[in-house]
Amino acid sequence: MNRSKIAAIAAIASAALVLAACSSAESETSSQTSPEASPETTSETTAAESSPSEESGVAVVATTSILGDVAGQIIECAGGTVTVLMPIGTDPHDFSASSEQVASMINADLVISNGLGLEAGLTDSMANAATDGANIFEVGPLIDPIEFGAGGHSEDGHSDEEGHSDEDGHSDEEGHSDEEGHSDEEGHSDEEGHSDEEGEDDHGHGSLDPHIWFDMTRMAVAAQLIGAELTEVTGNQEYTTCADTTAESIRGAEGEVRALLEAVPADQRILVTDHEALGYLADTYGYEIAGTVIPAGTTLAEPSSADLANLVKVINAEGVNVIFTNAAQPSALADAVAAETGRDIAVVPLYVESLGAPDSPAATYIDMMRTNAQLISEGLQG
């Protein structure tokens, strides 16, 4: 193994990541919401508005395209508008908001965020917006998040018998207090739902995995929590009713995703990914995560040459034939690792932290999950 070669490739790839992040940030500042957002997540509010009008209904801001799509389904049913802060293809870990976007959060009736440290670049902006009156609702802490490394891992680095703790991939009672997935009468408590520090360690990074959307059962619960919060904000029960419909759609689609992923023989359910983002998927469907190109839960970390050399050894030892990457991020590091194995390793991009463009097979959250499941199933059996 030529470590100097891998170190050089890692340096080049790191530069590519920086350039990609800068490009994304520059394109974002020209618009309050992505021009490629799906129809359910179109923006009709502007930072100049002091409050939503009676005619337009509730005004919602969602941080990510994934949350924007789920919220958009509810809003489309019950009325209102949704603004998505992050454009399609944006890395949520380093996205930062413009002053106009901070104003839009302050003026909105509700700001829906993932939390658990996902939106690291928005931490200060959201804190400032909250100080100025923004109503910020963090979904992640409310849906029984798992620890980083818990999904698809055991003490010896391999998954347990099924890769999760029970038949549904959740801890006892789904981590929620009732059948509808709400933690209390309104779907959350003030102390739980609005904390910007939950899941954070001493270094400002979340010890809890924020990639909650890779468990569709949890996202169905998230939809119901969002609906309950909108009902609390507006006094309109229709948001809860519409959220229940959205949740049922997600649960129905989860059956299709499960069928695709469980079609992979158990001894082939071994994943190597670009960073630690598929823990919930592994935990739910009995997969093992053998390694990651970036050994962290964020794309902001950088692997050492020793990390990459060790991953090459793991891939060869496990007989892995595919590396799953993030379609929104450069794949130079994964390509380098694949080349260093000396074998024919496929590099397959997934939709990891953003929806795809409207004309892509991942234009909605449900489509994104179906597409990812199909890519994983075909990649591992191909």
Q: Is 331 domain-assigned?
A: yes
Structure tokens that stand for 221 in this block: 């619960």
Structure tokens that stand for 179 in this block: 């059948």
17 vs 280, residue with greater confidence? 280
Q: Which domain covers residue 286, as residue numbers?
A: 3-16+260-381
**300 falls in which pLDDT band (50, 70, 90)?**
confident
Side-chain-side CA neighbours of 360 within 13 Å: the count stands at 24
295 vs 171, residue with greater confidence? 295
Look at residue 226 and give its three-state secondary structure.
helix
Q: Say if residue 130 is in the same domain as residue 278.
A: no
Q: Say if residue 212 is in the same domain as residue 290.
A: no
How far is it, in rounded angstroms, from Cα 372 to Cα 168?
19
Structure tokens that stand for 377 in this block: 């199933």
Structure tokens that stand for 68 in this block: 């924007």
User: In sequence order, what are the residues at sequence separation of 6 or more whose Cβ sits closer than 8 angstroms to the Cβ of residue 178?
Assistant: none
Q: Say if residue 235 is in the same domain as residue 271.
A: no
User: Which of 61, 115, 124 has the alpha carbon at shortest distance from 92?
Assistant: 115
User: Which of 369, 355, 370, 366 has the alpha carbon at shortest distance from 88?
Assistant: 355
**Least confident range of 114-123, 179-188, 309-318:** 179-188
Tally the domains of the chain.
2
User: Residue 167 has what pLDDT?
Assistant: 40
Q: Say if residue 69 is in the same domain as residue 174.
A: yes
Number of Cβ within 10 Å of residue 317's Cβ equals 10
Q: Say if residue 134 is in the same domain as residue 95.
A: yes
User: Residue 150 has what pLDDT?
Assistant: 79
Q: Say if residue 288 is in the same domain as residue 370.
A: yes
pLDDT over 60 at 92, yes or no: yes
**152 falls in which pLDDT band (50, 70, 90)?**
low
Could you give the residue ranges of the DSSP H alpha helices within 108-194?
123-131, 190-193
Q: Say if residue 203 is in the same domain as residue 282.
A: no
172 vs 64, residue with greater confidence? 64
Structure tokens that stand for 190 in this block: 């003030």
Q: Say if residue 223 is in the same domain as residue 357.
A: no
Segment 133-144, tens digit of pLDDT: 999 999 999 999
**Please, are residues 353 and 277 in contact by the beta-carbon 8 Å criterion?**
yes
Q: Say if residue 164 is in the same domain as residue 69.
A: yes
Q: What is the mean pLDDT of residues 51-70?
A: 80
Q: What is the mean pLDDT of residues 164-177?
A: 40
The residue written with tokens 């849906």 in the block is 143
How far is it, in rounded angstroms, from Cα 242 to Cα 240?
5
Residue 350 — φ and ψ, nearest 5°?
Answer: -110, 165
The residue written with tokens 């059996």 in the block is 381
Segment 9-53, tens digit of pLDDT: 444 344 433 333 333 333 333 333 333 333 333 333 332 233 333
Please state, in angstroms and as integers, the Cα–Cα distance from residue 314 to each residue in 199, 304, 309, 359, following that order.
30, 15, 9, 37
Q: Is 118 domain-assigned?
A: yes
Residue 14 — φ and ψ, nearest 5°?
Answer: -60, -40
Domain end point (choices 205, 238, 256)? 256
pTM: 0.76
Q: Say if residue 229 is in the same domain as residue 363.
A: no
Residue 298 belongs to domain with CATH number? 3.40.50.1980
Structure tokens that stand for 12 in this block: 């080049």
Domain end point (choices 256, 288, 310)? 256
Q: Say if residue 239 is in the same domain as residue 290.
A: no
Domain end point (choices 210, 232, 256)? 256
Q: Say if residue 77 is in the same domain as residue 10.
A: no
Segment 219-230, tens digit of pLDDT: 999 999 999 999
